[in-house]
Structure 1
Amino acid sequence: MTGRDGFIRGAAILALAGFISKSIGAFYRIPFARLVGGEGVGLYQMVYPIYTVVLALSTAGIPVAISVLVAEKTAQGDYYGANRIFKVALILLSVASLLFAAALMMGADFLATEVLKEPRAQLAIKAIAPAIFITGVMSSLRGFFQGQQVMHPTAISQVLEQSIRVITVFIAVFVYSGNITLIAAGATFGAVTGSAVGLAFLIWYFLRKRNTDFKRIGFLPQERKRVLVKRIIVIALPLSLGNLIMPIMQLIDAVVVPQRLRAAGYAVNRATELFGQFTGMAGTLINLPTIITLSLAVSLVPAIAEASSRGYLEQAAHRGNAALRVTTVLLLPAAAGLWALAEPISIFLFSISEVGVPLRYLAGGVVFLGLYQVTAGVLQGMSKTYIPVINLFIGAAVKLLLSYWLTAIPTVGIRGAAMSTVLGFFTAFMLNYLSLKIFLPGMAIKRYLFKPMLAVTIMTGIVVFSYGRFLLLWGNAIAVMGVIIIAVFAYLIMLAGTGALRLKDVEALPFAGSRIIKILVRLGFVR
């Protein structure tokens, strides 16, 4: 997929698949939390940061390197070279992933007892270990397809992977009912079954297309394998550090937050329960809106790489600005809605009102995390891969220091962990943005803030006013759903009134873009 706005179509495809898979992953946690309780969710959530850290180590940023290098070769018409890069990278990933999977399996006891201080997590760590190898191979195929700007295979595999994972989780819940240790192990094994099905689909798609779409004529002088490996490592190494930081931030939460809550005076079980509410419930809702920006970031990397490799910096800036515009228009109302309805949403989804406490303080993180993801995608596409790594590392340091200090204050508690997360992402985003102003002066976010912020302010007032009246008439569940519907229409009307929503933004959506435009024009929502 190429062209001026091709990357937005690719991002929209990934966003749709990401929304479906992340929605499945988010909403299954509601019945899961009801069935196993806060302590069960906490045990389950403790294992995943270890898995993601090891996964980041094993993949080492190679999938993004594949995407960047394949995009460059494809832009040059060197399709043979693109396939050659993929094969070399696949071997690297397969070997590394296998070694790390074995290491995780053998080190499960140490990690559970010495790092997490929770011996019950040992079986869950062993259960998830094989997913390291499977996911490593799968990510290499995804990187290849994304480098070709063919997003459908990745999108379908994401939905398949998540669906099978969730099915496995509930099988474990019902088979091992009452045994939290076995439930956590069975639930984490869902990563194995899900990734296996996703990989099977990608292999089938690749074999089906390799003699047509992915084996086109185009030969240029080829680098030696040693040179290819070096190029892959040069791009992948800083990315591997960057990929490590986010899981390490989650691991920090898994280790630091429960221990600092205990220091604040909470019992062990209560600290685990609050941690489960913070990461497994509030954190899940915060991550849901950023699905779109993560998809934008993934699609931006090859799109920016293609433009910058040809010297089209104006086009690169145009694509980056389009992503910033979409990010602000979509994430500002999401953050405002989560802030205004934090407690009602928590009661509606989890029947636990206190989940609203960390959720309200985390809400602002939706915007800053999304903006960080998009700006990191632009920098990676320009081969400035080390910059977002350093910036996220600084943000992680801010989060660690604040979380360690604030969470142990009895009057602050879990709010401190939430505030620390938001400030960490804000720091990382601002540093990314300042870097972009140096390397790509055409990037500017100020021009996209005023109109959406005005619309969001009015929308938030309508939400707060409407909820109290709906609650008296129909109760919390109907009030929440009704207010969300009203908020969406109010925001669209405000966007139309300010001119913030444009036809070209909607037109880039895949499959239904033209139909949506006709509806929006008829309703007067776009110009």
Structure 2
Amino acid sequence: MKKQSLVKGSIILGVAGIITKVLGLFFRWPIIMLIGDEGLGLYQMPFPLYMLFIAIGAGVPVAVSKLVSENNAMGRFRENFVIVKETKIAMMLLGVGYSALMFIFARPIIHAFNWNEEAYYAMVGLAVGPIAISVMTVYRGFFQGMQNMVPTAISQLLEQVGRVFFGVGLAYILLDKGIGYSAGGAALGASLGGFLGGGYLMIKYHSERKKHKIKKVESKPEILSKIFKIAFPVTLGACAGSIMGIIDSAVIPHQLLNAGFNSEEATVLYAQLTGKASVIINLPMTLSMALSISLIPVISEKFILRKYDELNRKVDLSLKISTVISIPCMFGIFIMAEPIMRFLFPGRHEGFEILRYLSLTIPFIILTQTTTAILQGIGKYMLPVINLFIGCGIKLVLTIILVKTPEINVFGSVIASFIAYLFVTIINVIQMKIYMKVKLEVYNNIIKPIIGSLIMGVSVIYSYNFIFEKTTSVAISCLISVFLGIIIYIIWILCARVFDMDDLKRRVPKRK
């Protein structure tokens, strides 16, 4: 199987991720048009529980990809299929069990978190998802470890296409029964999309087995201990974020009630934060997540082969990519928050101020993801996890204190997120300098992207206002000005020579 360079692998997953997120907007836009912010809030309330299972399984593809990458480096190719076999059985049992728990305890959970009773249907719809996710994570880890990101990218696209098709269709069909049923249909569609992506990966994997003439795979249950050792700290880190999402779904609406808002107002504000602003913020996160996924097997391979010079070059390149992506995204979304919301949610653009200030967290979220992947790639699994848990504790305390203040309300969660991710980024960078002796290029990696982003921002503002005066169309003005800003920023990055072209062209050697 042909390997891909760090940059190429990141680009493949990044492009697929952006397309996936755009398709996700095609899911949310009709959902919001059908059931409004209140219905979206019903969908979003149990969604962190679904994301918790994804977090529980998050360590599995990382562990599988790391072990597969190391096996390839040491010439133990056949053992990769043993890893997939044993991990898949364990994950299927976990997925079925988690789905059963969501079905059985749906109403008790709703009562415990003081959610709207109508959220029950969304909970049941999402409960189907873990079964598909459990298998999909294992196959993705296998292909990522082979440093072939194409199957993962295609599965992401198929998953989102299924989500849009089934989710919007079911939400429309069930709308006559009420907002709660419609939100439940959208949730079920999200789950069914997972089966589409998982089915493709299953076919692709078995094709890979046939290609290498592997008819029977031996059983080695003891290999799960290796998987668990790597996956557990990664899962803990992912769970920290998901658990925080669950806590937010309970704390934010409750604290908004304490701030003097009624139940419907609290649900709407929560939907604007998690169902609109956070969804848009997650778009650039897709690029950084693609980098992190590509980064772990590459870092692991260089580390186990003791190629420290190449390792440091990959680390510098990954940090550079992170800042080059995150800084202009922060500037662009901060400046264009209102036009973006008007373009994506015409007639329902409320919450653009939440989006504006939430954009300030983008660089620190992306750098947290990248530095976590680097530390875990060299075997320091628990360090970034501990940092993330401390960050979650900071966010929880600040959210509880700030959201209940009427003048701050839901913006308290935004402030808490900013401070928490800033803390985790700083600690991760300090630990990288300690354990890897990494030298950070501040001017090239930070100052130059900031200058380019400022130039881009000015051009976007003037071009948007000029085009809007001529066309009075938010969509046309937004699309053209954003596209122009991207072109100007890319030209700046090339002219300022932010990247070393030799490093970008360097490929991972082919497996012999």
TM over 0.5: yes
Paired residue for 1:366, among 362, 365, 369?
362
Is 2:339–2:478's contact at 8 Å kept on the other side of the alignment? yes
**How many Å separate the matches in 2 of 1:111 and 1:160?**
31
User: Is 1:37 the counterpart of 2:32 in the alignment?
Assistant: no
**How many Å separate the matches in 2 of 1:239 and 1:117?**
30
Aligned pairs for 1:416-427 within 5 A: 416-427=412-423
Is 1:46–1:116's contact at 8 Å kept on the other side of the alignment? no
* Structure 1 pair 417–214 and aligned structure 2 pair: CA distance change class (3 A): farther
Q: Deviations over 1:460-519 (max 9, x none)?
A: 223334433443333233332232133123223322332225545765799xxxxxxxxx
Residue 60 of structure 1: how far off its partner (Å): 6.5
Which residue of structure 2 aligns with residue 467 of structure 1? 464
Q: Deviations over 1:212-257 (max 9, x none)?
A: 25859xxxxx9x9464222222111112211211111221221111
Aligned pairs for 1:44-83 within 5 A: 44-57=43-56, 59=57, 61-83=59-81
**How many Å separate the matches in 1 of 2:233 and 2:483?**
43
Which residue of structure 1 aligns with residue 451 of structure 2? 454
Residue 24 of structure 1: how far off its partner (Å): 0.7
Paired residue for 2:402, among 398, 402, 406?
406
**Identity level (%):** 32
**How many Å separate the matches in 2 of 1:261 and 1:509?**
52
Which residue of structure 1 aligns with residue 12 of structure 2? 13
**How many Å separate the matches in 2 of 1:13 and 1:316?**
21
Aligned pairs for 1:114-513 within 5 A: 114-178=112-176, 179-213=178-212, 215=214, 225=220, 227-351=222-346, 352-446=348-442, 447-475=444-472, 476-501=474-499, 503-504=501-502, 507=505
Secondary structure, in 3 states, of the residue corresponding to 2:438?
coil
Amino acid aligned to 1:344 = P
Residue 263 of structure 1: how far off its partner (Å): 1.4
**How many Å separate the matches in 1 of 2:2 and 2:322?**
22
Is 1:339–1:359's contact at 8 Å kept on the other side of the alignment? yes
**How many Å separate the matches in 2 of 1:61 and 1:288?**
22
Amino acid aligned to 1:49 = P
Residue 281 of structure 1: how far off its partner (Å): 0.7
Amino acid aligned to 1:473 = K
**How many Å separate the matches in 1 of 2:429 and 2:53?**
29
Q: In terms of mean alpha carbon deviation, does 174-183 or 349-358 score higher?
A: 349-358
Which residue of structure 1 aligns with residue 21 of structure 2? 22
* Structure 1 pair 144–458 and aligned structure 2 pair: CA distance change class (3 A): same
Which residue of structure 2 aligns with residue 519 of structure 1? none
**How many Å separate the matches in 1 of 2:408 and 2:334?**
18
**How many Å separate the matches in 1 of 2:315 and 2:386?**
20
**How many Å separate the matches in 1 of 2:151 and 2:498?**
32
Is 1:38–1:273's contact at 8 Å kept on the other side of the alignment? yes
Is 2:167–2:190's contact at 8 Å kept on the other side of the alignment? no
Is 1:54–1:104's contact at 8 Å kept on the other side of the alignment? no
**How many Å separate the matches in 1 of 2:286 and 2:506?**
17
Residue 315 of structure 1: how far off its partner (Å): 1.6
* Structure 1 pair 354–129 and aligned structure 2 pair: CA distance change class (3 A): closer
* Structure 1 pair 60–116 and aligned structure 2 pair: CA distance change class (3 A): farther
Q: Cα RMSD (Å) of the superposition? A: 2.3
Q: In terms of mean alpha carbon deviation, does 299-308 or 186-195 score higher?
A: 186-195
**How many Å separate the matches in 2 of 1:236 and 1:62?**
5
Secondary structure, in 3 states, of the residue corresponding to 2:351?
helix
**How many Å separate the matches in 2 of 1:367 and 1:86?**
35
* Structure 1 pair 508–314 and aligned structure 2 pair: CA distance change class (3 A): closer
**How many Å separate the matches in 2 of 1:61 and 1:496?**
36
**How many Å separate the matches in 1 of 2:480 and 2:51?**
37
Amino acid aligned to 1:405 = I
Secondary structure, in 3 states, of the residue corresponding to 1:189?
helix
Is 1:60–1:241's contact at 8 Å kept on the other side of the alignment? no
**How many Å separate the matches in 1 of 2:362 and 2:469?**
30
Question: Can you give the 5+ residue segments of structure 1 that lack an aligned partner in the other structure?
Answer: 217-221, 511-527
* Structure 1 pair 497–7 and aligned structure 2 pair: CA distance change class (3 A): closer
Q: In terms of mean alpha carbon deviation, does 108-117 or 500-509 score higher?
A: 500-509
Residue 211 of structure 1: how far off its partner (Å): 2.6
Is 1:257–1:275's contact at 8 Å kept on the other side of the alignment? yes
Is 2:323–2:446's contact at 8 Å kept on the other side of the alignment? yes
The count of corresponding residues between Structure 1 and Structure 2 is: 503
* Structure 1 pair 486–18 and aligned structure 2 pair: CA distance change class (3 A): closer
Paired residue for 1:98, among 87, 96, 99?
96
**How many Å separate the matches in 1 of 2:484 and 2:136?**
41
Is 1:257–1:403's contact at 8 Å kept on the other side of the alignment? yes
Secondary structure, in 3 states, of the residue corresponding to 1:412?
coil
**How many Å separate the matches in 1 of 2:267 and 2:282?**
21
Secondary structure, in 3 states, of the residue corresponding to 2:404?
coil
Residue 445 of structure 1: how far off its partner (Å): 5.0
Q: Deviations over 1:357-414 (max 9, x none)?
A: 1111111112111111111111121121111211111111121111111111111112
Is 2:26–2:164's contact at 8 Å kept on the other side of the alignment? no
**How many Å separate the matches in 1 of 2:268 and 2:506?**
43
Amino acid aligned to 2:464 = Y
**How many Å separate the matches in 2 of 1:392 and 1:96?**
25
Amino acid aligned to 1:381 = G
Is 1:12–1:509's contact at 8 Å kept on the other side of the alignment? no
Secondary structure, in 3 states, of the residue corresponding to 2:166?
helix
**How many Å separate the matches in 1 of 2:28 and 2:500?**
36
Amino acid aligned to 1:456 = S
Amino acid aligned to 1:404 = I
